[in-house]
Copies of this chain bind each other. A is one copy, B any other.
Amino acid sequence: MPKEIERKFLLVNDSWREHVSQAVNLRDGLIAFEGGRKVRIRFYNERATLTVKGPRQGITRDEFEYEIPHSDGLAMLDAHCPSGVMEKTRYHVPYGGFEWIVDEYRGILDGIILAEVELPSEDIDFPKPPWAGQEVTGQPEYRQINMLRKRQEALAQAS
């Protein structure tokens, strides 16, 4: 079964930008979120996918992702993602033999930047890059869905 094992960090500076191997524009839409299970549409540049994620168990969660026709992805993003579209640029930044990703949000979460490293197992050691700061793995306030809700509340209060 496919698993996602990730640890998440804040950034202390911008020096990671010199080491980017690849950048991808992501557009995400949430179809459903129930009992910790999440179903989303994601565009990787123009490639559309449908993803099911299981509930988190520690830092691990099941993940099933399938490529779908571009037009289906657009139709679902448009009609079946009521919380709107989340946009970010995902930078791939190799460090010490591990693949780090740095997500720079746009749109409603503009200004937020977070780094993650994807791990082959939960207990593996990995070197921490100089640009990675405090670890925030599992902290609810750094989950995308909570960041989004917080911004939406702030916008609603300001308006």
A residues with a Cβ closer than 8 A to B are 1-2, 31-35, 37-39, 50, 52, 54, 62, 64, 66, 68, 71-72, 75-76, 79-80, 82
- Copies of this chain present: 2
Q: Which residue of B lies closest to A38 (CB)?
A: B32
Q: Are B52 and A31 in contact (CB under 8 A)?
A: yes
Q: How far is the CB of A31 from chain B (nearest CB, A)?
A: 6
The residues of B that contact A50 with a CB separation of less than 8 Å are: 50, 52, 64, 66
Q: Which residues of B contact A52 (CB under 8 A)?
A: 31, 39, 50, 76, 80
Q: Which residues of chain B come closer than 8 Å to A32, judged between CB atoms?
A: 31-35, 37-39
Q: Which residues of B contact A76 (CB under 8 A)?
A: 52, 62, 64
Roughly how many angstroms separate A62 CA and B2 CA in the complex, as a whole number?
Answer: 28
B62 in contact with A80 (CB, 8 Å)? yes
The reply to whether A33 and B31 contact each other, CB–CB distance below 8 Å, is: no
Asked whether, in the complex, the Cβ of A80 is within 8 Å of the Cβ of B54, the reply is yes
